[in-house]
Amino acid sequence: MAVVSRLWRGGAAVCSPAMMWLSLAMDARFSTSLGPPKTRDPGGRGVHWVFLGCPGVGKGTYASRLSQLLGVPHISTGDLVREELASSGPLAQQLAGIVNHGQLVSNEIIMSLLTKRLEHGETKVESGFILDGFPRTIRQAEILEGVTEIDLVINLKLREDALLAKCLGRRICSHCGGNYNVASVNIKGENGRLDFIMAPLLPPADCASKLITRVDDTEEVVKERLRIYNEMSKPVEEFYRARGKLLEFDLPGGIPESWPKLLQALNLVDHDDKQSASA
């Protein structure tokens, strides 16, 4: 509960300087080059990482993979909103109107949902976290900074034409809740050759007939969501860039192309190899 009460009060940051840094790597731009990141601090806690990026860029996919790799919880504000929408909770009806019109959920609602999730994490004595989709505003970043030290902020980038196609191809299995993408993105360059390839993420046979489209994944809503996000994201990016914690990673394609390069940028290739060997 101490974390939650501090979250609402905000206030000045009380943390020591960041302890995790990145080496420069292909497809990544980092604001400093003071060395590679660590996956645990000297006190033994897990990483405190944040994923930024446009809606639909793949924050959840890569945050979830890193969560499993590093053994820390993945907390997605998007998932928190969808869970509330599916419930009969007091915010469900209000959220439905906001999401269906492509608007961003207010600070107050996000903070309420995140507070409840942090309370749950405290009861389970969780160590570390990877936040996905939070913070979205300078105020949220300031509140978070006053609660805990953020070690690293990973800002995923994807060209807009590929991003739009990817968003429109998203599907969810109505039975198991699995996330898939039916879009096959093949974008040609000026020379007529394929410049960008992103293969679909197809469901298993059991889920193929149960796929549904999210109500907010229409072209009009997606474009409006991207416009709003781009206006709001720049100050947050600058907030973390000024603190030497921002990694900008340009996705070169789908998961097969991007995942190894992201691990390289995070200096986690050896970590992944060890986990694969022990599996």
* Active-site residue, 136 included: yes
Question: Following CA atoms 215, 220, 224, 226 in sequence, which dihedral angle do they give, to the nearest 10 degrees?
Answer: 80
Rounded to the nearest angstrom, the gap between the alpha carbon of residue 51 and the centroid of all alpha carbons in its chain is 4
Residue of 116, 139, 214, 223 with catalytic role: 214
Residue of 65, 117, 171, 225 with catalytic role: 225
Which token pair is 13? 């940051």
* Active-site residue, 40 included: no
Inter-residue contact 131 to 51 (CB < 8 Å): yes
Residue of 166, 170, 241, 245 with catalytic role: 170
* Active-site residue, 45 included: no
| DSSP three-state, residue 206 | helix
* Active-site residue, 157 included: no
Helices 107-123 + 138-147 axis angle, to 10: 20
- The per-residue b/e assignment along 135-166, b for 16 or more CB within 10 angstroms, e otherwise, is bbbeebbbbbbbbbbbbbbbbbbbeeebbbbb
Residue of 59, 65, 171, 241 with catalytic role: 59
* Active-site residue, 29 included: no
Tell me which residues are annotated as active site: 59, 136, 170, 214, 225
